Structure 1
Amino acid sequence: MIWLSSRWRIAVMVLPAVVLFTLFFAYPVLYGVGYSLTDAQGFSAPRLIGLDNYAALGDDPFFWLSLKNTVIILVVSVAFLVPASFALALLMQQRIRAAGALRALLFGPAIVAPILVGLVWVFILDPRVGLLNRLLVPLGIPEIQWIGGDSLTPYSIALVFSWASIGFAMTIFYAGLQQLPDDVMEASSLDGATRWQQLLHVTVPMMRETIGIVSILLVTNVFKIFELVYMLTGGGPVHRSETLVSYMYFVTFTSQRYGAGMAIAVVVLVLGALTSLVYLALARRGRSA
């Protein structure tokens, strides 16, 4: 392995990854940032306008509404998914019948295309023809605007996102639990620790890295939600159920205001990166404490 010590050989091995990263991430990001500084519309030649598109977002009520909806979906989804998927992983680790089939069943929604997930849930949550209201109305409960209303839509989107993602998060937690050393658990049992104490003081601290990975993946996936919104509500009525990505799509491709749309895309990128960096910083501080 002496040849690996040569710097130019190492550079040759790293070069393909650098090229792919540049072509499919760095270049599109820089191109989008550059476009966000122009007034590009339709087929007209773009003109440099500086930060005007970003300033206009501050006066756009639909942008702030889409940001609010995204934050609601983010908080509700992560607050539910992390403990729920961890609990399911702990359950799947027990010796129960058909555990493999249950894991496959729970993971199933994660491999279904989001557009199909949204289509399925339309027939459940639609206020007029949805299954949920048809079950509630005979019980004397009036029709509820699960989707398309003023208040419940982001929570319904969070519900659908959680249903589609819980198996994926559970699988990562389950893999992490399989890597825990048995001797540590046995030692804690010999010391008289109960199962609840083992969970709080042994399992959770040792799973901190996995919890961080799952949380970051969930956050980034929430910032990419588009198909669910498109199928459930189309962003309506009057953009009340838009998320940042769905509103970016409307501004860019429906309104053909490409510069303004790229400004929203840059905001989404920055928010996602900042959220992940803040969580990593807090996790690193917790490990060093």
Structure 2
Amino acid sequence: MNSARRPLIAGNWKMNAGGQEAMPLAAAVARAAKEFSKVEVVVAPPYTALAAAAHELFGENKSDVGLAAQNMHPETSGAFTGEISAGMLKESGASLVILGHSERRQLFGETDELVARKVGSAIAAELRPIVCVGETLEEREAGKTLEVVERQVRAFLDELAKQPGFGVIAYEPVWAIGTGRVASPEDAQKVHANIRGLLASASIELASVTRILYGGSVKADNAEGLLSQPDIDGALVGGASLDAAGFRKIIEAAHRVAEREEEE
């Protein structure tokens, strides 16, 4: 973590807590986040719970927790049954959107080109993208991790460069998502440093201000080790974000690392 970049901890609820559960979970995260002002905290509920979560986060008990969607369509409107536009997300209270998640790429066939279109549309709508990249187990074992991640980043690099610091990148090795396996802090740092170098090829400013998160079985017991790496600026948390107490411990770990960085 670098003291020049405020750490970001984002909770991706995936296809969970999309109904009545969303309100108490959002409220619990908001209470936890109040204690750790050095960390930006974001939750990403399903579409059906965005408005309910927004009510909890921005209503009477207003909090600083941000609200993200989990996906969006690149077009602003049209005959796209079942899809959601950036404008609709903003009206629901979202200010961020997760794009290119490996589950979208692997299960729904999203290509680098489509992800890049979505990134451009999100930025144009002033919706901050959290863009995911990462390799499969087969690609990792073939020694292609950096090659794959570089290809994915280059697809949307020009879009991020239009507004340095507005977008976020999340490195999520596919083999670590939901498996309990996690990259070692050193291995994750190697990929993050490579991504930082790609950003620098577009501009030094882009590299210095863009936050790069790690995702993939992030939990309270491994968060601090990962976040202590110089190019890891936060975490995109999956299953652990559904437990407010556990998620709080990850936020607390980010806060501790941020305090330590400020003192050095």
Same fold? TM cut 0.5: no
Is the radius of gyration larger for structure 1 or structure 2? Answer: 1
| TM-score, length-scaled by structure 2 | 0.25
Q: Which has a greater percent of strand?
A: 2
Q: Which has the higher contact order (CA 8 A, sep 6+)?
A: 1
| TM-score, length-scaled by structure 1 | 0.23
